[in-house]
Amino acid sequence: MNRPTAFVFPGQGSQFPGMGRELARFGPAARDLVDRAEDVTGLPVGALMTEADADTLADPEYAQVLVFVWSLAALHRLRDKGLAPSAVAGHSLGEYTALTACGSLDPDTALSLVSCRGRAMSTAARQTAGTMAAIVGLAPESVRRLCQEACDDTGFAVVANLNSPRQTVVSGTVAAVQRVVDAARDAGALRARRLPVGGAYHSPLMAGAPLGLMGKLAEARLAPPRIPLVSSATGHLVSDIEEYREVLFAQILRPVRWQETVHTLLGLGVRTFVEAGPGRVLSGLGREMAREARHLSVHEALGATPPPTAVPASPAGPPTAQDHVTSKARKST
């Protein structure tokens, strides 16, 4: 049975100590990719992946390169096994892996951009103290209202990640985020807790970060995607790559719209999601939002029977959204 497949790529937060040992399962090509990443970024990628502790890995300067390299190695391994996506998307940082997977960015350019992005976010986080918190069990609009109520002259909180109908992440100044956590618990949230992160990502406290990335992004060659690319910054299909460049400029400040992203992929006919990166965060969110679909980690996809299948691209050019909407999807949307 043909089950159109999306590869989805996780962002910062999916890294873990010792992730290099698992990367080794992808074979010699993964080692070559690590060596290439060290040349491009100047970071000791191999040592960080095998020796760094959780606190070190939480720094965006390191975490973002490591997650990107791991995810790209997973993508290469999936392709080596004959698996290819009919659409791609990435959560925040993962959008750069998705851009590489769909042919919009070459790997070296993507590595350079990811490294610059991580350094810029790390610098912004050190300059202005902030934090994030995950709220589970309250509707996104309720969380948004709690953020508005937590704002005062001393600080603010905003919605940073719309991950699912049940999970929303907030970001902002430490005191205001804590007020949201306390209010969410009083409002009956199943879980409300601060996250062990070094900054208030996807909030105005990151305002300095895009400046450090802007020059490289402006110079980077972005090719039109060869397969459908859904942006997690908008939740929509990317139709104009140059307009999308403007989205990437502001991506660090904007909320991640993962719920909309998954729904857009479902609308394209996708019925299998492969999380091509470390961890299973996106697979868990997907199972919550799309129970009718199949959600696999990269290792599950590599061993799956029958394997995930992809809709081949039209020889006339990149597939459109309409090319990928099945009659079943039309009835369900």
Name the residues annotated as catalytic. 92, 202
Torsion angle of alpha carbons 311, 316, 322, 327, nearest 10°?
A: -50
Triad 22, 25, 27: Cα angle to 5°: 135
Residue 118, Ramachandran bin (φ over 0: left; ψ between -120 and 50: alpha; else beta): alpha
* Neighbour tally for 84: CB within 10 Å: 18
Torsion angle of alpha carbons 264, 268, 270, 276, nearest 10°?
A: -60
Closest-CA residue to 91 (of 186, 169, 23, 9)? 9
* Neighbour tally for 70: CB within 10 Å: 31
DSSP 203: S
Those residues whose C-beta lies under 8 Å from the C-beta of residue 39, and which sit 6 or more positions away, are: none
The amino acid that residue 50 corresponds to is T
Those residues whose C-beta lies under 8 Å from the C-beta of residue 273, and which sit 6 or more positions away, are: 5, 6, 8, 262, 265, 282, 283, 286, 290, 293, 294, 295, 296
Peptide bond before residue 210 is cis, with ω within 30 degrees of 0: no
- Cα–Cα distance, 268 to 218 (Å, whole number): 30
Whether 195 contacts 143, CB under 8 Å: no
